[in-house]
Amino acid sequence: MSLARSDAWRMPKTLPIRGRSHELTEMGRRQADPSVPGRALKLSHFVVTAVHICRSFPASLFVLLLSQSFDPVSRYTTFIARLHEPPPHAHCNAYVHCALSTPTTMGFLAKISALALAASVSVAAQDVDLDSINKSVDNELSQVDTNGDSTLGTINSTELDRFLDGPKPGGSIWPWGSRDANNTNPYDPKAIPNTGITRQYDWHITNTTMAPDGVKTPMLVVNNQFPGPLIEANWGDYIEITVHNDLENEGTSIHWHGFLQTATPWYDGVSTVSQCPIAPGTSFTYRIRAELFGTTWWHAHHSSQYLNGLSGPIVIHGPATDDWDVDVGPVMLSDWFHDYYENLLQQVYHASREGPIFPPNANNMLINGKANYPCNETERECTPNAGLASFAFKTGKKHLLRLINHSAEAVLFFSIDGYNMTVITNDFVAVEPYQTDMVTLAVGQRVEVVVQGGDDPKESVWMRLSEGPSGLGPEGKTGCSLNDGIATSVNAKIFYEEADQTIEPNTTSHVDESRYLFPKACANGPLDEAVPSYKMNISEPEVTLDFVLTGLNNATGEFVWYMNNVTYMGDYNEPIFLDAAVGATNFTKEKQVFNMGNAKSVRIVMHSVGFPASHPMHAHGHNMFILAEGTGEWDGKIVNPSNPARRDTQLVRPNGYLVVQIELENPGVWPVHCHVAWHTSQGMNINLLEQPKEVQKMDVPASIAQTCRNWWDFTDNNYVAQIDSGL
């Protein structure tokens, strides 16, 4: 028995849809009855997902519904159907998995129900070939295909220990002795544990292709791993990373996000600011110190290279404001694009308010570098059912999850169905623990959460990541990020000890999707919610800088970003820090250098005007005191003035303001920029020149000058197209 397609299947593109092609085969397998003889189905490549079935079902197609279920919480009806006859362009039969939201007409609902009823009668009569269905399980790409040599995202990915081997002062059980998150000033270099330990890493950067979500994509990777390799150390350790640039024709540099780089500004890893790019075929060794502890990430800081794979987690073991039994390790979260960053950047300059608005739009979302993708939506080589990330939970245990947003653009919303999370850090700042059921992370931000495990060893649960519907307003109509609407969320699987890992979780989200919507969602949590556990107050700033943040078309019609009417434009061949080290204090306007002289502190007041994007503003070399943020005009009030929130990255709301204060105790040149890759590329950056006289006295390692000589040799013999601001 088969059922003709009805026009009711035809749904508007804007309908929120969750294509979970991966779950298809698992569910399909459970539907199958091996005792029924079947014809040989070739199920190898073609899984039609919701988007396709709803939008472009060929008129001649017949569908057989296998099952449906309605989830009252998420308001999604999920149904499994089978294509009775393959569409003309498909070379195989397929199972169809479709998830449709139900704010539709009752008529449609009735039709769905009727279909399901008919299907339940007909399913037993279907000729289903179990072998072929099993074959579709084999369709999942191997870990090497999706993530190269990274093991992140696999169920057996190693749990982290509480700390690495190292000396323990005074017979303490901790490498950091009696220091805890409340009693030690992390910004006092003398207070940091002096471990005498250096952790060493050797990295090779190469061009390659991988298919993290099944779509073969050009990538840049370290040691053939995506996400990139984990750096792990104890608080106070030094870390040496030798970076070999094995790219054919591109320079690069690596930034250690959130590291203070006290007395080593030349190791900050920013092309055009702290160093010349590492020339192809050459190497550079960074020596950085883990002055702060917690979770962070590293990424290329050379054009927008990082969004093609040059990013990875950093874990610095230290004290915490809560404890845990299982360190689940990094949970890398991001948007994802099926193209090389250079091509994407070319689109950025053609942004416009009229559709298609503000390209490039994200194609997918990833958790630990994994997702599925509906292959009918891309011209690129694509394998459906590539595979989702998995995590192991233990009954009754407390789990630490280290959430990291390494997106190009997206504001991310993270939750675990039915679970609360206890937040213990914001960026590199330990906070007094507080509970939440959803974490918002802007690009560059990290949040550590502790999750109390349940007591059912057979339980499996969805972990959810969403960026909401595409757009930048109007109110309540869009999310806070830009995407093509095809895959705006991704799940990962959490399995307890005895859960059946061949079956996907069937939990539903407790997060109402209105919480993903513009403009309310385009902000970090309330500032008084995150109270730093090491208390610090602020004094009146010696300098105040005001900035207006705007996006406009420049004289040649390209869309760029401005901070006080200036767009940053760096010079790969002449990094600002090196000029400052030999005495320069005056720079051309487009280098956006603000000489702070010997001032001890600066307050920076930022207003986003005329353009409804949110901006995750990130300061290098410092944690910022976050004094106030909101929409409209700042009323001059500081939130929690005796101990303001601190972090290194904080969102400016759409058309909002952000007030931060920075203690200028770290001589160097420090970028303060928006961390949206497109906005950085388009010049949304300033540089604080801090204590220039001290900078001039610095003993800069010879390797820094050598890196420039290598780069100059390279540029003397090769044409280097600088396609953006450079950093």
Footprint of Cu ion on this chain (CB under 5 A)? 615, 674, 676, 679
Query: Closer CB to Cu ion, residue 273 or residue 472?
Result: 472
Of 273 and 617, which CB lies nearer to Cu ion in the complex structure?
Answer: 617
Residues 6+ apart with CB under 8 A from 248: 207, 280
Query: Checking phi first, is residue 624 left (phi over 0); if not, alpha (psi -120 to 50) or beta?
Result: beta
Nearer to Cu ion, 328 or 617 (CB): 617
CB of 627 to Cu ion, least distance (A): 20
Taking each continuous run of H as one helix and of E as one strand, the counts in the chain are 10, 34
Least Å distance between CB 408 and Cu ion?
11
Q: How far is the CB of 495 from Cu ion (least distance, A)?
A: 38
Q: How far is CA 602 from the centre of its chain?
A: 30
292 or 677: CB nearest Cu ion:
677
Q: How far is the CB of 402 from Cu ion (least distance, A)?
A: 24
Min CB(541)–Cu ion separation in Å: 24
Question: Quick one: 290 or 674, whose CB is closer to Cu ion?
Answer: 674
CA atoms within 13 A on the CB side of 705: 7
Edge to edge, the sheet with strand 645-647 lists: 559-563, 543-553, 601-608, 656-663, 624-631, 645-647
- 347 within 8 A of 482, measured Cβ to Cβ: no
Q: What is the C-alpha separation between 698 and 104, in angstroms, rounded?
A: 67
Provide, rounded to whole angstroms, the least separation between the CB of residue 475 and Cu ion: 20
Min dist. Cβ of residue 680 to Cu ion (A): 8
Region label for 590, one of left (φ > 0), alpha (ψ between -120 and 50) or beta (otherwise): alpha
At its nearest, how many Å lie between Cu ion and the CB of residue 648?
15
Contact 212, 370 (CB under 8 A): yes
CA distance 43 to 133: 7
Least distance between Cu ion and beta carbon 442 (Å): 9
Report the residue number, 622 or 679, with the smaller CB distance to Cu ion: 679
H/E stretch holding 717 = helix 702-717
The total of other beta-carbon atoms located within 10 Å of residue 30's CB is 13
Q: What angle do CA 101, 338, 329 make, to 5 degrees?
A: 80
Place of tokens 């003397």: 716
- Secondary structure, 3-state, 250-307: CCECEEECCCCCCCCHHHCCCECCCECCECCCCEEEEEEECCCCEEEEEEECCCCHHH
**Tokens coding 105:** 């007409």
Nearer to Cu ion, 82 or 679 (CB): 679
Q: Which is nearer to Cu ion, 193 or 479 (CB)?
A: 479
Q: Which CB atom, from 383 or from 680, has the smaller least distance to Cu ion?
A: 680
Q: Over the Cα atoms of the chain, what is R_g? A: 26
Q: How far is the CB of 273 from Cu ion (least distance, A)?
A: 18
Q: Name the token pair of 33.
A: 């009855």
Could you tell me the maximum CA-CA distance found in the chain, to the nearest angstrom? Answer: 84
DSSP-derived 3-state class of residue 80: strand
Closer to Cu ion by CB, 265 or 654: give it: 654
Kindly state the smallest distance separating residue 652's Cβ from Cu ion, in Å: 8
Read off φ and ψ for residue 403, nearest 5 degrees. -85, 130
Closer residue to Cu ion (CB): 43 or 522: 522
